[in-house]
Amino acid sequence: MQNFSNKNVLLCVTGGIAAYKSAEIIRLFKKDEADVRVVMTESAKEFITPLTLQAVSGNEIHDSLLDIKAESAMGHIELAKWADLILIAPCTADSMSKIVYGRADDLMGALILASNAEIFIAPAMNMNMWLDKTTQENYKTLLSRGFSFIGPAEGEQACGDVGPGRMVEPIKIIELIKSALNQGPLSGKTITITAGPTREQIDPVRFISNNSSGKMGYAMASAAVEAGAIVNLISGPVTLLADKSVNLYKVNSADEMLEMSIKYMEDADVFIGCAAVSDYKSMDISDIKIKKEAADGLNIHLKKNKDILSTIAAKYPSAYHVGFAAETNNVDFNAKEKLVSKKVDMIISNDVSNTAIGFDVDDNEVNVITNKESIFLKKDKKIRIAREILNIISMKINKK
């Protein structure tokens, strides 16, 4: 999961100086497409105005358990059920102790008891208050009851003390919640995928390209997101829409694809070369449209493009490298040769001479080849084949 689309987030703001950062937390959740509702305790309002949080969240603030109007709009039990996740940030020492004792004398206390959502707590208090035996016991009790803690962070505090007690920065809170919710086999992994054809310009209006639709690469990207990975998709020109959670980078030529791949391999764990990269490019691209002056033909001098997959495999040896081999004959023999010559961990071979699978269709049938085995995945929708391939990859890298 890379964003919170379709997630209902209930942010409970309690009365600490870090409450001023709640607006940023809301902004980041919303940027990641969450629907955010905010509960404020009375003391939180001393630190940040309800109007500010209402404006940023786009929803009315919830602050009272006994307000008839608020209860008729969305009652507290309804609000507790609405939430997919609850974040209490900042959470004061007092609020922690209230939760331990299950007090329901205000809206937040009642919601915490009534909700089955996963609850995250980002404490914020003076370091001595945090280190105090009572708070530490409350902390352990809440942990044992399944509450997830984010921080506190260490550092300089509002009162001038230096130590544990600062609220973790909003951006980090969001990242940590995301990775806690990501339970897929590839959670915590970053995968860079190339997809589609490349375009090698000859002159301003003409180019060399191929029939790749990008469907397999885009399916791989969606399946990787489903499996919990962070996905960088480097795509040649295609007409497909990428999954919303994918980081999409559009390129044209093989050189651009290589450059972008290098950039997004810096912190990646897996590289999947799914693109049908043009093997050759024009020696010199004409600045002006080439005229049909030659009577009997035109020679275009081509030179070889760099091989993106083997360049990445050599440059980032600790990553796991996967290539695709689109073949029309001696499919598995050629694929195995590519496994060796490109020095990669896995090659997915498919027969593009079979028009029912391969280029520009929704189905595929492949062999997943490593130096140890060959696993046949029979004809199925590209997204299902992609899921199976990613399952195999996740088993390999989690063993690595």
Catalytic residue list: 159
For the four alpha carbons of 283, 358, 1 and 399, in that order, the dihedral sign comes to negative
- Please state the closest distance from residue 266 (CB atom) to ligand CTP, in A: 18
Q: Residue 312 CB, nearest distance to ligand CTP (Å)?
A: 8
Q: How far is the CB of 51 from ligand CTP (least distance, A)?
A: 53
Q: Select the residue interacting with ligand CTP from 32, 226, 307, 345 (CB under 6 A).
A: 307
**Is residue 279 within the footprint of ligand CTP (CB under 6 A)?**
yes
- Is 369 among the residues that bind ligand CTP (CB under 6 A)? no
275: phi then psi, degrees, rounded to nearest 5: -70, 150
Residue 157 contacts ligand CTP per CB under 6 A: no
- CA-nearest of 19, 1, 15 to 174 is 1
281 touches ligand CTP by CB under 6 A: no
d(CA 281, CA 308): 14
Rg of the chain over all Cα atoms, to the nearest angstrom: 27
Q: Toward ligand CTP, which CB reaches closer, 136 or 371?
A: 371
Distance of CA 309 to the CA centre of its chain: 23
Binding to ligand CTP by residue 275, rule CB under 6 A? yes
For ligand CTP, which stretch binds (CB under 6 A), given 49-57, 173-181, 304-312, 377-385? Answer: 304-312
Q: If DSSP codes are grouped into helix, strand and coil, which group holds residue 273?
A: strand
Q: Compute the Cα dihedral for 244, 246, 251, 252 and give only its sign.
A: negative
* 309 counts as binding ligand CTP under rule CB under 6 A: yes
What is the contact mask toward ligand CTP in residues 333 to 352, using x (rule: CB under 6 A)? -----x--------------
CA–CA separation, 288 and 291 (whole Å): 9
Instruction: Work out how close the CB of 281 gets to ligand CTP at its nearest, in angstroms, rounded to a whole number.
Output: 10
Of residues 171 through 200, those in contact with ligand CTP by CB under 6 A are 194
Distances, alpha carbon 382 to alpha carbons 8, 144, 339, 377, 388, in Å: 31, 43, 22, 11, 10
Q: For residue 310, how many C-alpha atoms fall within 13 Å in the half-sphere facing its CB?
A: 10
Please give the residues from 310 up to 329 whose contact with ligand CTP meets the rule CB under 6 A.
323-326
- 208 binds ligand CTP, rule: CB under 6 A: no
Query: For residues 150 and 325, which CB has a smaller minimum distance to ligand CTP in the complex?
Result: 325
Neighbours of 330 (CB within 10 A): 10
Q: Which is nearer to ligand CTP, 79 or 276 (CB)?
A: 276
Question: Closest approach of Cβ 310 to ligand CTP, in Å?
Answer: 7
Q: CA–CA separation, 108 vs 118, rounded Å?
A: 15
* Of positions 111, 142, 168, 254, contacts ligand CTP by CB under 6 A: 254
Stretch that binds ligand CTP, among 18-26, 162-170, 223-231, 275-283 (CB under 6 A): 275-283
Please, which residues bridge with residue 119 across strands? Answer: 86
Applying CB under 6 A, does 268 fall inside the site for ligand CTP? no
Could you tell me the two tokens for 80?
């507790």
DSSP string, 335-369: HHHHHHHTT-SEEEEEETTSTTSSTTSSEEEEEEE
Q: Would you count residue 251 as binding ligand CTP (CB under 6 A)? A: no
Q: Which is nearer to ligand CTP, 22 or 232 (CB)?
A: 232
Residues that bind ligand CTP (CB under 6 A): 194, 254, 273, 275-277, 279, 305, 307-309, 323-326, 338
